[in-house]
Amino acid sequence: MSDFYDLDRANARLPELRETLLGLQSMREELISLRDRIVDLNAPALAGGPSTMAARSLEVRGETQRLQMRMQGLVDQMQAAVIQIDDWGIQLREIQTGLVDFPALISGRPVWLCWRLTEERVEWWHEMTAGFDGRQRIEDMH
């Protein structure tokens, strides 16, 4: 980890980061929805026995394949977004809450500046060995 963020630089990155994280959340929700649709589509065919499976199999297979292709497209887009965040030198911790860590130095020691999507600006930090539960307010730093 060679590129460190200070508070101003981290906060300046938030507009682009917020947009990227919102896109990731949206794609994640769509991916889950598509997965659920595939499960629902295939469940009746499996439960109906051999004759039902044969009658529905072509239709179900075609729709399942279309949904799987869309899922792959979403996965590709999500990978590109994660690579972008990584290229910024930011650690993505959780898509669902938009939790990220910026590498920083405080009094010469490496720490994480911690931020999540619901927050207006970066106001938290934690030690490299601590996680979200170890967050401390920047203003309380000694």
Name the pLDDT band for 28 (thresholds 50, 70, 90). very high
> What is the domain partition of the chain in residue ranges?
7-140
- Tokens 């990220």 identify what position? 100
Amino acid at 82: V
Cα-to-chain-centroid distance, residue 61: 29
Lowest pLDDT segment from 4-13, 111-120, 125-134 = 125-134
State residue 137 phi and psi, 5-degree precision: -70, 135
pLDDT confidence of residue 4: 95
Q: What are the pLDDT digits (tens) for 35-51?
A: 999 999 888 655 556 66
**pTM as predicted:** 0.84
Looking at mean pLDDT, say which of 27-31, 105-109, 129-133 comes out highest. 27-31
pLDDT confidence of residue 91: 96
pLDDT: which is higher, 130 or 52: 130
Q: Residue 26 belongs to what H/E stretch?
A: helix 7-47
Q: What percent of the chain has pLDDT over 70?
A: 89
Q: What are the pLDDT digits (tens) for 52-88?
A: 556 668 888 899 999 999 999 999 999 999 999 999 9
